[in-house]
Structure 1
Amino acid sequence: MDKDATGRLTALEETLAHQARMIDDLSEIVARQGAELDRLARRLGMLMEAEAQRQLDTGGTIPLADQRPPHY
């Protein structure tokens, strides 16, 4: 191979290596965000259950979140 082809091949290999690393980094970020979303969804569910229970404990019959809006 001539110098020009070798240089282009080296440049392509470098670009591919950078892209592979970027894909791995982005994959890790997406996995962490998915785990964080799952954790936040569980916490939100617990908070909603706790609030519904608090509303029932204070004498309400139906939790406010389950009641129909007054304009129905």
Structure 2
Amino acid sequence: MNDPEAVNARIEALEIRVAYQDQVIEDLNQTVVAQWKQIDSLTRQLNEVLDRVQEVEDNAGGPSAPEPPPPHY
């Protein structure tokens, strides 16, 4: 273990692994950020659709009770 070349080789191998891990972490972070942006956008769109549906239901002049089933049931 006192061999300086062996120690240097191990240090270099560890540095390479850390560099790859740093890149993988950065790639994963970018993926997570992109997914959160998409989730946020989809959440806003869903809320807009729900608001529109609620508005249509509120403006509908029909009865508030559900229709009874047809007689053949």
Runs of 4+ in 1 over 3 A off after TM superposition: none
Alignment of 1:6-17 (within 5 A): 6-17=8-19
Is the counterpart of residue 34 in structure 1 residue 36 in structure 2? Answer: yes
Separation in structure 2 between the aligned mates of residue 40 and residue 31 of structure 1, nearest angstrom? 14
CA separation of 1:19 and 1:51: change in aligned 2, threshold 3 A: same
The total of aligned residue pairs comes to: 62
Q: Report the aligned-residue RMSD.
A: 1.8
Q: Which residue is equivalent to 2:45?
A: 43
Identity of aligned residues (%): 27
Give the one of 50, 55, 64 matched to 2:57: 55
Separation in structure 2 between the aligned mates of residue 60 and residue 24 of structure 1, nearest angstrom? 55
**Secondary structure of 1:59 counterpart:** coil
Structure 1 unmatched runs, 5+: 63-72
TM-score scaled by structure 2?
A: 0.75
Separation in structure 2 between the aligned mates of residue 16 and residue 30 of structure 1, nearest angstrom? 21
Separation in structure 2 between the aligned mates of residue 34 and residue 60 of structure 1, nearest angstrom? 40
Structure 2 unmatched runs, 5+: 65-73
Separation in structure 2 between the aligned mates of residue 28 and residue 51 of structure 1, nearest angstrom? 35
Report the CA distance between 1:57 and its aligned residue. Answer: 2.3
